[in-house]
Amino acid sequence: MIAVILDLFRAARGRTAVLLLLGTLPVAAAVAGPAYVAAAQRTIVATEVAGAAPGETVLSFQRPSDDPGAAGDTFERLGGGAFGTPGFEPIFGASFDIAVPNIDVAFKLSYRDRVCGHVSLDAGRCPTGRGEVMLGFRTAERIHASVGDALSVRQSKFVLADGANELHRLGEAVPLSVVGIYRPTDPAAAYWGATPPFPPGLLTNGLVGTDVANNVGVEPVFGSRATAKLFTLVVPEAQSYDLIADPAQLTTGWVDRYPAELDRLNNKATENQATLVSGAGPLIARIEESRAAVRSLVPWLALTVVPLCWFVIFLAAASGSDTRRTELGQVALRGMPLPHRWWLAAGPDWAALLVGAPIGFVAGQLVGDWAVPGGGVDLGLPGDTVRYAVVAVAGALLAAALAYRPLITGRAIDLLRKVTRQGGAWRSATIDAMVVALAVFTAVEARGEAGPVHGGLGILAPALLILAGALLVARLLGPAARRVGGRALLAGRLSGALAGIELSRRSAPRRAVTLAVLGVALLCFAVLAVDLGGAAREQRAGIELGADRVFNVNQLAGGALRTAVRQADPDGRWAMAVVRIPATGSGPTTIAADTDRLSAVAWPGSVPADQSARLRPQRAPSLSVAGSHIRVDATVVADSIDPLTRPFFQGDTPELRALVQAPGEADRTVSLGPLRPGRHRYDGSLPQCQPACRLIGLEVQPTWGTTELTVHQIAATGPDKVVAGPDVLRDTTRWRATTEDGIESTAPKLTSAADGATVVLQTTQVPQRLLVADAPPVLPILRTTSAAARETDTGWALSSPGRTETVPADSVGALATLPGLGASGLLVDIGYLDTAAPMGAGGTPQVWIGPDAPDDAVAQLAAVGLTVLGETSVRDVADLAARDGAALASRYELVSAGFAVLLVLLGLGLVAAAENADRSARTRVLRSQGVPAPTLRSAARHLRLWPVLLGVLLGPPLAIAAWVVANPAIPVFLDADWPLALPTLPNPITLGLVWAACAVPLLVLALVRQRRATAF
């Protein structure tokens, strides 16, 4: 029997070679899935570790002490061995507070292992001896010290007195020598621990001083450990061992060991009276979320490939079996035993499949590794992979056996006559109906997917829908070809009639159509999923970031930031000022932006122009006051406040004040003096304003009884200029009467007088105001449709940076997403917010940069006083998202499509080879009956090209239909919070290239087979 099988190999070398290649594919597909999962997990860990915040790769053992003498050197002597863990380098550090004479600023006298390797020296050298220190460059500027200077320092601490922190110097003075001036090489590096001691912008922002936070220096004073021993401690010394991770050592194995290792380190910390602070929790959570997505999704995606391999092997084996019907019928007629008939029929195919299996095992591991960006190659896969390979081989052998079953169990007479039993047609129709039903079920499951990405039957929906569509096309091919062939015969086109009749009667062409449609559609769908998924991630990155690029800049008040950006980009083409205001209470984050530049700078289409315009309703023009003083001409009429009839109580004298705002600063109060009955002029000194101050309005506090204040004129002196005369004051649309707290019951009443504006003041201790109506009383805001943002529909109050009081706000529109906020947040115009509640320094000042920005955008911003502290681009964010678990899982669609294309090409080759052998006999019969050879060649050409053309023409529309129906099950994002629908139609250029890439090899294959066809 072995000799017979070897003879069969030699008789069909080409077919055997193709079957051997087909035998590699199911094993390769089964192994590629686990290999891809392992490589994807390596990439996820490497990407997350590379992008982690410095504190996320630090484990810190801290031993703070309230008792100055308790720390000693016991903790220090434990060494890194007591707290060591693989992949982390222990760094010991210690610090306590000191102060120099005449400057009430507390500095940290610090020691840190190997600090000299992480600083650069502006002058001098690193301290090595007793009593030597090096100062940060900002500290040296602050205390006017240089190399060689002697410092007399004492320990210090802050003591709360009268509600404020006061710096107290303690202990004896210790002389120290300055031997170096340093600046950190990277102030945010992980080396500096979980909480770096340097503020953002230390190296780039000249406004970062040494006493910005409670009079605490922004740079440590570094000295040797011996220097610290010079002090007899009367203040606590904080000691720590920071374990700094080596990124190369943070692998998937480390992530798996982390929970157990964290428990061990916590126990170790407790034993040594220390506290373990781990910043790795968020990092581990992100890694595990992505890993879970890959582990749950890729096996389901791989599950679509292996059965497809079995299906193609079945078709290929069935096509080959048709050519051996006579041979196997003769064997059955001679009474060969059934087991021998199985070996004779399926043995050559089984042997070829088994030879290809080991090749597929190695190829699958390489494909799985190479398909992941940065995944590397690791051939040491777990034992489960071998079981997957065994199942794949068993399925391939079973598929081949099923293809030969009708020939083994069929009657010899039917085999010799080449007659197909009708029961086979019913079984084929039943199988097709089952595939269609399963496709519909999984499509319904896919449409109902909700929540984070996970595996399930819905993942199989695209492949099953495409398979069902391919089977439906093949099943409709028979009636359609029969009709076309009949019409061609009536029209006298004999070649078309022969091709149509053969397409309608034989199963091999229908198999070719199924394979062609299936391969083209799967490849188009894979490219579609990856391309549209990438477009969706880029869209989300652009909306959540806000613009093509975002610069974080030095701390400025919102108004000053807006003014500076408008100076750098006066035409409003490429830059926009933005302040990100953190969420307060249950409310969402707020973006204050220069909204008339949204269309030019923000991410395209993120805010429609009509919605943006609602944020800037019509308002009265602002009033500017420039000079050394402000003067108000006003008349006061009171029924109870009359100093001539009764004196004011101490502290209760009503005072008139002006409210002004310098450009880019918060509002200021200018005292104009106590109110006096009758008409008088009130004067006050203006702050320095360049070029002018904005007049916010006037206020009176407190008031008793009913008081009428009529303002006739507001003017500036030095130089003299009328700011608001009677005509302006009489126009009540330009003024608004209110109270500081906004309570309407105590709000003053505004009326127009003959020569000014009259305000009737009520009894209250709260300031009552006459304000310029250059800002709406209720700020318009745009909100997202998220639950947190919907709270603003019942009334909201915005916090303005640098202010304690809030300003009323109301939603004028809702969008699913907003730039810079994503799916949850509020958007307000920065100019209107600054007018309604003048903004101080606070929040996160940013400059959004549009696509039309010049190459020297950073330099132009620097020219107006804006220092760029950091830059983030949409491309960076999208590239990072392309390496998370959902994106990597989706990328496996390309691997599946690659297998599908190989399967289609090999399957079509086998089907065509079997048809060539079978058609030769039919051709000779037709030639003997007088059919011309050119007619037969033309008919054969039609038979070759029609299945291919159907696949090329119908594959892409079928892929698009599968995407439209089943895209909710395709992994794009790790979360389910993104409210925008995925794009439906692909990039036409991308789809055209894929279409061409499918058509060319299929047409080439058809033409090659055509040339090899039997000569007529």
Same domain, 630 and 692: yes
User: In the predicted model, is pLDDT for residue 644 greater than 60?
Assistant: no
Q: How confident is the model at residue 645 (pLDDT cuts 50, 70, 90)?
A: very low
Least confident window among 114-118, 360-364, 386-390, 584-588: 584-588
pLDDT, position 573: 93
Would the pLDDT of 715 be above 90?
A: yes
Same domain for 384 and 361: yes
**Per-residue H/E/C for 841-880:** CCCEEEEEECCCCCCCHHHHHHHCCCCEEEEEEHHHHHHH
Is 286 contained in some domain? no
Between residues 503 and 358, which one has the greater pLDDT?
Answer: 358
Residue 648 confidence (pLDDT): 42
- In the 3-class helix/strand/coil scheme, how is 277-301 assigned residue by residue? EECCHHHHHHHHHHHHHHHHHHHHH
Q: Phi/psi zone of residue 295: left (φ > 0), alpha (ψ -120 to 50 degrees), beta?
A: alpha
Average pLDDT over every residue of 891-915: 76
- Measure Cα distances from 86 to 17, 265, 525 in Å: 50, 12, 45
* More confident site: 430 or 848: 848
My answer on whether 90 and 216 are in the same domain is: yes
Query: In which band, very low, low, confident or very high, does the pLDDT at 935 lie, cut at 50, 70 and 90?
Result: confident
**Of 110-119, 458-467, 691-700, which gets the smallest average pLDDT?**
458-467
pLDDT digits (tens, 9 = 90+) for 188-237: 888 998 888 887 667 665 555 544 444 556 789 999 999 998 998 888 88
Among 151-160, 583-592, 908-917, top mean pLDDT goes to 151-160
- Residue 872 sits at φ, ψ, to 5 deg, of -130, 135
Contact 968, 529 (CB under 8 A): no
Instruction: Give the residue with greater pLDDT, 273 vs 290.
Output: 290
Residue pair 116/132 in contact by the 8 Å Cβ criterion: no
> Which is higher by pLDDT, 794 or 684?
684
Please calculate the CA angle 562-785-609 and round it to the nearest 5 degrees.
45
- What gap in Å lies between CA 500 and CA 485, rounded to an integer? 4
pLDDT band at 649 (very low <50, low <70, confident <90, very high): very low
Beta strands 806-815 and 796-799: pairing type? antiparallel
Q: Does residue 634 contact residue 673 with C-beta atoms inside 8 Å? A: no
Cβ pair 222, 244 in contact under 8 A: no
356 and 241 assigned to the same domain? no
Contact yes or no for 798/590 (Cβ under 8 A): yes
- The pLDDT tens digits for 276-316 are 888 888 899 999 988 888 888 888 888 778 888 888 788 77
> 813: helix, coil or strand?
strand
814 phi and psi angles, rounded to 5 deg: -135, 135
Residues 582 and 502 in one domain: no
Q: How far apart are CA 656 and CA 661, in angstroms?
A: 17
Query: Which pLDDT does position 112 carry in this prediction?
Result: 93
* Residue 282 domain flag: no
Phi then psi dihedrals of residue 69, to 5 deg: -95, 0
pLDDT at 183: 92
- Give the C-alpha separation, 46 to 376, whole Å: 11
Domain end (from 753, 772, 791): 772
Mean pLDDT value of segment 988-996 = 74
Contact yes or no for 399/25 (Cβ under 8 A)? no
The H or E element containing residue 681 is strand 678-685
837 and 915 co-located in one domain? no
Amino acid at residue number 85: T
> Does a structural domain hold residue 25?
yes
Residue 461 counted as domain residue = yes
Asked whether residue 158 is assigned to any structural domain, the reply reads yes
Q: Please give the structure tokens belonging to residue 716.
A: 């500036």
Q: Are residues 240 and 137 in the same domain?
A: yes
- Listed range (414-423, 545-554, 708-717, 946-955) with the worst mean pLDDT: 414-423
The candidate with the shortest Cα–Cα distance to 252, out of 365, 81, 378, is 378
Dmax of the chain from CA atoms?
139
Last residue of a domain, one of 365, 396, 421: 421
> Does some domain include residue 285?
no
Q: What is the pLDDT of residue 420?
A: 55
pLDDT of res. 124: 94
Are 882 and 932 within one domain?
yes
Cβ neighbours of 322 (radius 10 Å): 20
Point out the domain boundary residue: 401, 421, 441.
421
Mean of the per-residue pLDDT values for the chain? 81
Is residue 591's pLDDT more than 90? yes
Written as one string, the DSSP assignment of 564-612 is: HHHHH-TT-SSEEEEEEEPP-TT---EEEE-GGGHHHHBSTTSS-HHHH
Provide the angle, in degrees to the nearest 10, between the axes of the packed helices 384-409 and 325-333: 70
Q: How far apart are CA 311 and CA 519, in angstroms?
A: 12
| 273 within domain boundaries | no
Range of the domain at 815: 555-619+776-866
Residue 147 has pLDDT above 50, yes or no: yes
Same domain, 228 and 81: yes
Write down the pLDDT at residue 444: 84
206 and 78 within one domain? yes
Residue 283 lies in a domain: no
Residues in Cβ contact with 456 at an 8 Å cutoff, skipping those fewer than 6 apart: 300, 445, 449, 969
Q: 907 and 990 share a domain?
A: yes
CA 946 from centre of chain: 45
pTM, full prediction? 0.78
Measured in residues, the chain has a length of 1016
Question: What is the domain count for the chain?
Answer: 5
The conformation of residue 949, written as its DSSP 8-state character, comes to H
Q: Can you give the pLDDT at residue 2?
A: 60
Residue 646 clears pLDDT 50, i.e. is over it? no
pLDDT tens per residue across span 453-477: 566 777 888 888 988 988 888 888 7
148 with 100, same domain? Answer: yes
Say if CB 1011 and CB 944 are below 8 A apart.
no
- Choice among 346-355, 537-546, 564-573 with the minimum mean pLDDT: 346-355
Q: Which of 276-290, 802-816, 969-983 has the highest mean pLDDT?
A: 276-290
Mean pLDDT of 258-278: 87
pLDDT exceeds 70 at position 754: yes
Q: Could you give the percent of the chain with pLDDT greater than 70?
A: 81
pLDDT at 579 exceeding the cut of 50: yes
Is residue 164 over pLDDT 60?
A: yes
DSSP per residue, 528-560: HHHHHHHHHHHHHHHHHH-BSEEEEE----HHH
